[in-house]
């Protein structure tokens, strides 16, 4: 039988995930933790489970299309995808941060950027194009999201836009780039997500993995 595939996000979240893997007694092959390894698929101590390590947006893409049965990604990404094929099943309560609108400090722009209600149009740099569209549509503001893949905080400084929509955790990135948080759109934590079809067709095997995470979360 084909092995189950679990998609795990790269980056800072791995630090928070490792204690959960340990508690669940889920062990990855050594190369998984080796930064210089170019391997993409890793075996685990469970004979029917393999793991891939990809960007968090790609976790959602693989799970949405059923290429991965199970994934771990933030509620920000789940919201951005808003897909019926993705079931968020367990809140792991890790990777806590918030998705916020931010702008350059008023002394740098010469205008009070925190008064969003007065805007009829907003150009905003973000990875979260759909969330931005929906959020501003509700406020009757026409959004012009500009999609970037990272280092969003550089966009206002380079004159691309006045606003960004991005994750804020410690606030250090905003601070070091002379930006201020204007308003929080949502709180974010990481979830175990499952592909809808996998949940039906591989119910027993998928539920074993889900139970493993439930007991460790």
Residues lying near ligand PRP in the complex (CB under 6 A)? 11, 150-153, 166-173
Residue 59, token pair as written in the block: 């976790």
- Please state the closest distance from residue 173 (CB atom) to ligand PRP, in A: 3
- Please state the closest distance from residue 126 (CB atom) to ligand PRP, in A: 10
Question: Rounded CA gap, 82 and 60, in Å?
Answer: 10
- Please state the closest distance from residue 76 (CB atom) to ligand PRP, in A: 10
- Residue number with CB closer to ligand PRP (155 or 206): 155
Question: Rounded CA gap, 172 and 161, in Å?
Answer: 21
Report the b/e string of 153-177 with b at 16+ CB within 10 A: bebbeeeebbbbbbbbeeeebbeeb
Question: Rounded CA gap, 162 and 202, in Å?
Answer: 47
- Please state the closest distance from residue 176 (CB atom) to ligand PRP, in A: 8
Question: Rounded CA gap, 72 and 205, in Å?
Answer: 17
- Residue number with CB closer to ligand PRP (138 or 172): 172
Question: Rounded CA gap, 61 and 83, in Å?
Answer: 10
Give me the phi and psi of 25, to 5 degrees please: 60, 35
- Please state the closest distance from residue 47 (CB atom) to ligand PRP, in A: 33
- Residue number with CB closer to ligand PRP (12 or 39): 12
Q: Which of 92, 88, 66 is nearest to 202 (CA)?
A: 66
Residue nearest to ligand PRP (CB): 150
- Residue number with CB closer to ligand PRP (167 or 182): 167
Residue 200, token pair as written in the block: 């039906």
- Please state the closest distance from residue 175 (CB atom) to ligand PRP, in A: 8
- Residue number with CB closer to ligand PRP (29 or 181): 181
- Residue number with CB closer to ligand PRP (46 or 125): 125
Would you say 12 and 77 are in contact if contact means Cβ atoms under 8 Å apart? no
Helices (H) and strands (E) in the chain, counts: 8, 11
* Structure-token match 């996998």, residue found: 198
- Please state the closest distance from residue 211 (CB atom) to ligand PRP, in A: 30
- Residue number with CB closer to ligand PRP (5 or 165): 165
């Amino acid at each position: 039988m084909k092995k189950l595939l679990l998609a795990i996000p790269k980056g800072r979240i791995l630090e928070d995930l490792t204690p959960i893997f340990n508690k669940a007694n889920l062990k990855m092959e050594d190369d998984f933790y080796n930064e210089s390894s170019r391997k993409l698929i890793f075996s685990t101590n469970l004979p029917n489970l393999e793991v891939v390590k990809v960007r968090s947006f790609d976790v959602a893409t693989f799970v949405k299309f059923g290429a991965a049965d199970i994934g771990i990604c933030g509620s920000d990404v789940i919201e951005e995808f808003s897909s019926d094929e993705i079931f968020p099943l367990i809140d792991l309560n890790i990777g806590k941060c918030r998705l916020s609108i931010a702008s350059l400090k008023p002394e740098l722009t010469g205008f009070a950027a925190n008064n969003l209600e007065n805007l009829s149009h907003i150009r905003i740099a973000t990875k979260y194009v759909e969330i931005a569209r929906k959020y501003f549509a509700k406020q009757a503001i026409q959004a012009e999201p500009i999609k970037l893949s990272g280092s969003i905080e550089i966009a206002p400084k380079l004159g691309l836009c006045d606003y960004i929509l991005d994750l804020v955790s410690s606030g250090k990135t905003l601070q070091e780039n002379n930006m201020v948080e204007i308003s929080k759109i949502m709180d974010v934590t990481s979830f175990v997500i499952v592909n809808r079809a996998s949940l039906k067709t591989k119910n027993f095997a998928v539920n074993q993995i889900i139970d493993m995470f439930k007991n460790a979360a």
